[in-house]
Amino acid sequence: MTYSTALYQPSLLELAQAGNCQALTYWMNSLLSPQGVQIQVQPAPDQFFKILIDFRRPRRREACLHLREQLTRFICYRLWTLNSDAIQGVRLVARMTGDPKLLWQTSVRINSPAGARRRHRRRQQTASQMRFQLLRSLFMSSFTLAGFLIGYWLLHGAIGRALEQDEPSAPALTDSLSGVELPNGQIIRIPPPPSQTDFTVPKQAEGTVVSQVDLPNAEKLIALTFDNGPDPEITPQILDILRQYQVQATFFMSGVKIEQQPDLARRIVAERHAVGNRGWNWLSAADQNIDAEHEVKDTAKLIEETTGAKTALFRPSTGDINSPLVNYAKRHHQAVILWSIDSQDPLVAAPILLDNVLRNAQPGRIVLLHDGLNHGSVTPTASATVQALPQMITALQNQGYQFVTMPQLLQRQHPQSEASPDPNGSDSRAPAASPKASPKASPTASPETSPGSNLKPDAAPAAPALQKPSPEKTSSEKTSSEKTSGDKRQIPSRKQPIALVPAPG
C-alpha cells in the first residue's frame, strides 16, 4: 500500500525550521503577543534574520530597557530549539510604539548543532582544497622525489624476493593467536571475551518500583532510556549518535522486536549499553488474557540467548504498576523501572520534545524516549528523537550532567559494601548469639502505593541485649583450661575478646 504526499502540508514548526519568515513571525507572536510585544521577522542574505521588536502596551522607557537581556535570551533560546540549518543568527532592533528613537539593537549568533555541522563541513571542504593544492605543488615541483620513491620501491621489492628465496615462508597469520606455540615451547593462551554480561541491581532495589533516585551530594547524573526497540531504521541512528557523543543509555527491548532484529540487539550490548525487559508484546491496559510468565520470563531468556546478557530490569508497556506483569517481575526479584521525565516523542516535534526534557531535568531523573513505535503503528520517515537527541545531549552536558545506565544509577544510590570479617573470630566454646527479630525489619513496602517514591533501605534490626560473664566464671574456666590442656592458645588473654552471650529472659 502506498500513500500519496500530494496533499501533505508542512506544519508551522517545519516551516519555521526551514527559515520561513512568516512562520517565524507567527510563531514568535503567539508566544510574546500576550505580553504586549509584537515581533516581525525580516529575511537577510547572510542568514542573520532581522527581528523588529515593538512594545505595544504603554510602558516606561526604563522598563523596556530593563527587559533587553531577558527578551534576547527568550528569542535566541526558542530559535536554538528549532535546530535549523538556515538560521545562523539574528539582529534584534527594539522600539516603542509612537517613538521614533530606537531602544536598543544587538546581534547574536545561534550556535545550534545543525550550524556546527555546517561549519564543520565548510572547514572540511577548505581543508581538502588546501591539501589538493599542496599535493599538486609537490607533484609538479618535486620530480626528483617521485623518482627516488619509485627507485626505493623497486629496490625494496627486489630485496624482498631475494629474502623469500633464501628463508622458508613464515606461517600465515590468523585472526586468533590462541594456541600458537613459541620456539621455547610456551603456548600463547588468549582468554576469550566474556560471553555474558549481567545487568543486575542492588539487593535494596530488587522487587521495587523506581521512577527516580535520590543521589548523595546531589550528583548531576541522569539516565536516558529507550523503549519499543530495536527498530531497523531508528535504532542504528540513535546508536551512532550515542557513540559519537560517548554516552551510555538503557534500552528496554521487546521479545517480538528481538526476534526480528537480533543483530541490532547484539550491537546494543556490544556498545556497552544496558538492556532491560519490555515484555514479549506491547500490551495495553485493557488486555485481560496476559501470560505473565511468557511475557517476562521468555523475553528475559531470549535476551540472554541472543545477546549473552542477563538483566534484572523490567518496564511495563503502559507504565501500569498494578498489572500482573509487574507483580510477576517483583516476585522474581526484578526492579520495575518507570520514568520521571516523559519526552512525549511519539506525539510532538523535535523542538517541543527538547523543551520537555530540558525544562524538567534534575539529578537522578529518568528520561523516557523511544527507538521504535507500538505494534500496528506506521514507522515515521524521520524520528523526532533522532533530530533532538544531539542537541539534548549537548545542552545537558553544558549544564554539568553525566549520562549513566540504570544499573549505574541504582548503584550510586545503593553502593555495595564489602562484608567485613568478624573481629572476634569463631569460638566453639561460646554459644551462638540468637538476636530477637526486630519489629521494624519488614519486607520492602509495595511500591504501588507510591510509584514515584525513591528507594530507601529498611531499618536495621535492633541489637539484642548482651551481658559479660562474671569474672569468677571466667577465672574458673581459665584454671580448668590450664589443668586439662597445655596449649597456651586455649588461655584467653586480655588482648583477646571475651565471648558474649545473650541476656537471660
- Active-site positions read 227, 370
- CA dist 233 and 133 (Å) reads 40
Nearest-CA neighbor of 273 among 281, 264, 282? 264
- CA dist 455 and 366 (Å) reads 14
Nearest-CA neighbor of 104 among 77, 129, 70? 70
Nearest-CA neighbor of 65 among 95, 91, 90? 95
Nearest-CA neighbor of 390 among 267, 247, 285? 247
Residues 6 or more apart whose CB falls under 8 angstroms from that of 395 comprise: 354, 358
Please spell the DSSP secondary structure of 47-109, one letter per residue: SEEEEEEEE-S---HHHHHHTHHHHHHHHHHHHHHHT-SS--EEEEEEEETT--SEEEEEEEE
- CA dist 234 and 389 (Å) reads 12
| Residues 215 and 362: beta-carbon distance below 8 Å | no
| Residues 233 and 379: beta-carbon distance below 8 Å | yes
Query: How many CB atoms are closer than 10 A to CB 36?
Result: 13
The conformational region for residue 425 under phi > 0 = left, psi -120 to 50 = alpha, else beta, is: left
Q: Residue 154 phi/psi, 5° resolution?
A: -65, -40
| Residues 315 and 278: beta-carbon distance below 8 Å | yes
* Dihedral sign for Cα atoms in the order 353, 384, 30, 40: positive
Q: Give the type of residue at 80.
A: W
Q: Give the type of residue at 124.
A: Q
Query: To 10 degrees, what angle do helices 68-82 and 350-359 make?
Result: 130
- CA dist 296 and 254 (Å) reads 10
The conformational region for residue 344 under phi > 0 = left, psi -120 to 50 = alpha, else beta, is: left
Nearest-CA neighbor of 407 among 332, 329, 313? 313
Residue 298 C-beta-side C-alpha neighbours within 13 Å: 13
